[in-house]
Structure 1
Amino acid sequence: MLHLRLIAPVEKTDKVVHLIEQTVGTAHLIVLRDAARDPAGDVVLCDVARESGDELIGGLKGLGLEETGSIAVEDIGLSLSRRAEEAEKEAPGDGADAVLWEQLADETHEESTLSVTYVAFIILATMIAACGVVLDNAILIVGAMAVGPEFGPLAGICTALVQRMPRLALRSLTALLVGFAAAMLVTVGFTYFMDAVGLFSKVQLEAVRPNTNFIYRPDAFSFVVAVLAGIAGTLSLTSSKSGALVGVAISVTTVPAAANAAVAFSYDEYRQAWGSSEQLLLNLLGIVLAGTLTLLSQKWLWARQRERAARTKGYQTPGT
């Protein structure tokens, strides 16, 4: 269940209440007259099944509530209510399959913003991966994958393509390109420093490296794994199962590939640098392709599910 806290101008409150009452899957409707001060208006509280959340939010935006009032949405961890159980049964579909597009856009907007924190994380992850490739240490490689924040911008690009949001696409692409460019540039300098103090050497980079040589040797499996990771990552975002993102992060070699390319470039080892760059591009392409197709599939399947529910239960979407 989702909890909605709305601030509605007095003249729109009745329309908001009517919309909620006509939406299948809502419960616990509360109206507090003149309770809001900034912006001024009435406060409307209600709970809604996740399956009906996207349509209700869309209906509220259709009333212009985000412009003249406020729409706040929270996930309810626990709701002990028979009425809530009935509301979830009345709502069409399954909550685990429902996508809250506004929430997804908001999350990817935050995760794909080019900020000091984002750049710091991707630089640190790439430097950790650089230590991993030189030492042929798989644990450091896995750690670098987990630290890397690059899935946020990748998810932002996928969401922007499906929802046709050019600003989000540009913001996500900028964060991705600038982040990796900064990380690789700093890692080149880091490599020179580590070499100067005797901790890195070209001999280590050119060694057999059985644990990490796959990073600069892309093959078909590189793309396949990236596609599978893109699907899993997208599903984890849309279903609020964020724990799966950790598994996604450590299954693709974006950050390690960038690190290996930077270290190899520092030592004029252009064969490894090119192979690592190819690995990086394959992973990025696979994730974006898979993520976009997954979102399109979810959108289509959910629309079909709602249409089927409308025929069998007489369900009407908000505003109809």
Structure 2
Amino acid sequence: MRLVQLTVPTGRRETILETLDDRGIDYVVTDEDSNRDYTAVVYFPLPSPAVEGVLDELQEAGIDDDAYTVVVDAETVVSRRFEVLREEYENGDVESDRISRQELQSEAESLTPTFAVYAIMTVISSVVATAGLLLDSPAVVVGSMVIAPLIGPALGASVGTVIDDEDLFFESVLYQIVGIVLAIAAAAVFAWMVRVTNIVPPGLAIGDVDEISERLAPDLLSLVIALGAGVAGIISIATGTSVALVGVMIAAALIPPAAAAGIAIAWGQPSAAVGSTVLVLVNVLSVNLAGLLTLWYAGYRPENLFSLGQTEERVRRRVVGLAVIVLVFAVFLGAITYSSFAVATFEENARGEAELVLEDEEFAQYQLLEFEVVMDQEYPFLGPERVVVTIGGPPGEPAPGLADTLHERINQHADDPVDVEIRYLGLVEREDNG
């Protein structure tokens, strides 16, 4: 529910009150004596879905942008006529749950801080995320998402497009570009300082840190996070609900991958930064695409109906452009996903071959103690570099031909030759004389 406060221009009082009466809207009118071009102030409650239509109609009746129109939340309205009005507008569909176009624009603008604050908070969140990744601490990484100021620009571009506010659109796009660059640069500088000062152990392999490695080789499921964040973000602001948790979700799609890219650059592995950088870009584009489609589906249109055709064409072009770019990046992520699947399949098959070899009568006295596939660290398309097989058996040397057999059988499942390292442990059985 909303309470609308409206200043009535001179000569428009009767027209405006007749409009409210025709709609069955309760109102209170007070005289205005500020010696300006307004004769009264009218207050009236409205169901949230009715705000946009009523304000548009009042604007046609003579309310221009110079008049004051204030829309605030109303906790409770006790009125029989209001209940009838609410039943008229709240019919359970998507459009009946959303806030007005005017409120949406104000909400989108309020979610974006000043540029200085935005830049500082982005740098801080990126640095915190970098520390969390290097510490392999999910809790610290989540903390970095909470302070990231990304939800405003991420959703502002979509809002600006559908309501024909190009200033909001271009400002949001600029903020997003600057945010990505700042996040990666801040992460790279901080990670480099950490490395050269030996705050982390010298020789640390970033691929061995789980929180980092999973973002250096992202898979196709990462798209689900970004698309879900875009839809949830738009729904949260369009329905007037809290956006704090949704902001964390959007930051989850952007800040940790940007920090991972910065770490890879600081470690002198630019190829390792490719996957995480692509992940940041595809997530940004996916959030914008999902937000744009959700807003249009929710029924938001520009204020000026004469610009509706132009806006529809603009939305169509941007949706197609975003979809094509996202699809190209999705193919790249799909290739990484397939590479990960191929590695997992190889590991399963190679382990199976090792077990089958040791089940042969010739090698029945040996047992498989440990099996490990060592990756080549060629991000983002990882592949098996060598296989380490730890075998236990009678003291002494293993049977001749065991290593060659394992090497041959395991490499049957590899696209490229893989080294097979055999580690043999002699096992001694102790008799229990007790």
Query: Which TM-score band applies after superposition, normalised by the shorter structure?
Result: 0.7 to 0.9
Matches within 5 A, 1:222-261: 222-243=222-243, 245-247=244-246, 249-250=248-249, 252-261=252-261
**2:40 paired residue number:** 42
Evaluate the alpha carbon distance shift between residue 47 and residue 205 of structure 1 in structure 2; reply closer, same or farther with a 3 A threshold.
farther
Q: CA deviation at 1:40?
A: 4.3
State the distance in 1 between where 2:30 and 2:84 align.
24
Preserved contact between residue 7 and residue 36 of structure 1 (Cα < 8 Å): no
Deviations 1:24-69 (A, max 9, x none): 5x33x01112245566431111111112111012223334534332
For residue 180 of structure 1, give the secondary structure of its aligned residue in structure 2: helix
Preserved contact between residue 5 and residue 41 of structure 2 (Cα < 8 Å): yes
State the distance in 2 between where 1:256 and 1:202 align.
23
Matches within 5 A, 1:1-320: 1-23=1-23, 26-27=25-26, 29-36=27-34, 40-91=38-89, 93-94=91-92, 97-112=97-112, 114-200=114-200, 203-204=203-204, 206-243=206-243, 245-247=244-246, 249-250=248-249, 252-299=252-299
* Identity, % of aligned positions: 22
State the distance in 2 between where 1:279 and 1:202 align.
28
Preserved contact between residue 222 and residue 282 of structure 1 (Cα < 8 Å): no
Q: CA deviation at 1:77?
A: 2.0
Structure 1 residue runs of 5 or longer lacking an equivalent are: 301-320
**2:358 paired residue number:** none
Deviations 1:189-227 (A, max 9, x none): 322333344324674452422244222222210112211
For residue 3 of structure 2, give the secondary structure of its aligned residue in structure 1: strand
**2:381 paired residue number:** none
State the distance in 2 between where 1:30 and 1:137 align.
57
For residue 11 of structure 1, give the secondary structure of its aligned residue in structure 2: coil
Evaluate the alpha carbon distance shift between residue 257 and residue 66 of structure 1 in structure 2; reply closer, same or farther with a 3 A threshold.
farther
State the distance in 2 between where 1:86 and 1:68 align.
32
Q: Which has the larger radius of gyration?
A: 2
Q: CA deviation at 1:274?
A: 1.0
State the distance in 2 between where 1:205 and 1:190 align.
17
Aligned residues: 298
State the distance in 2 between where 1:149 and 1:264 align.
24
State the distance in 1 between where 2:96 and 2:198 align.
53
**2:331 paired residue number:** none
State the distance in 2 between where 1:193 and 1:144 align.
19
Preserved contact between residue 138 and residue 212 of structure 1 (Cα < 8 Å): no
The farther-off stretch of 210-219 and 149-158 is: 210-219
Q: CA deviation at 1:136?
A: 1.3
Deviations 1:150-184 (A, max 9, x none): 12111111112222322111010111112222233
Preserved contact between residue 155 and residue 291 of structure 2 (Cα < 8 Å): yes
State the distance in 1 between where 2:43 and 2:210 align.
59
Q: CA deviation at 1:294?
A: 0.8
Q: CA deviation at 1:247?
A: 4.4
Deviations 1:215-240 (A, max 9, x none): 22222101122112211111111111
Q: CA deviation at 1:110?
A: 2.8
State the distance in 1 between where 2:15 and 2:182 align.
50
Deviations 1:59-83 (A, max 9, x none): 2333453433211000112334444
Letter matched to residue 12 of structure 2: K
Letter matched to residue 77 of structure 2: S
Letter matched to residue 48 of structure 1: L
Evaluate the alpha carbon distance shift between residue 200 and residue 36 of structure 1 in structure 2; reply closer, same or farther with a 3 A threshold.
farther
The farther-off stretch of 80-89 and 48-57 is: 80-89
Evaluate the alpha carbon distance shift between residue 163 and residue 200 of structure 1 in structure 2; reply closer, same or farther with a 3 A threshold.
farther
Greater share of helix residues, 1 or 2? 1
For residue 74 of structure 1, give the secondary structure of its aligned residue in structure 2: strand
**2:411 paired residue number:** none
Q: CA deviation at 1:9?
A: 1.6
Preserved contact between residue 45 and residue 77 of structure 2 (Cα < 8 Å): no
**1:312 paired residue number:** none
Deviation >6 Å, runs of 4+: none
Q: CA deviation at 1:85?
A: 2.5
Letter matched to residue 28 of structure 2: I
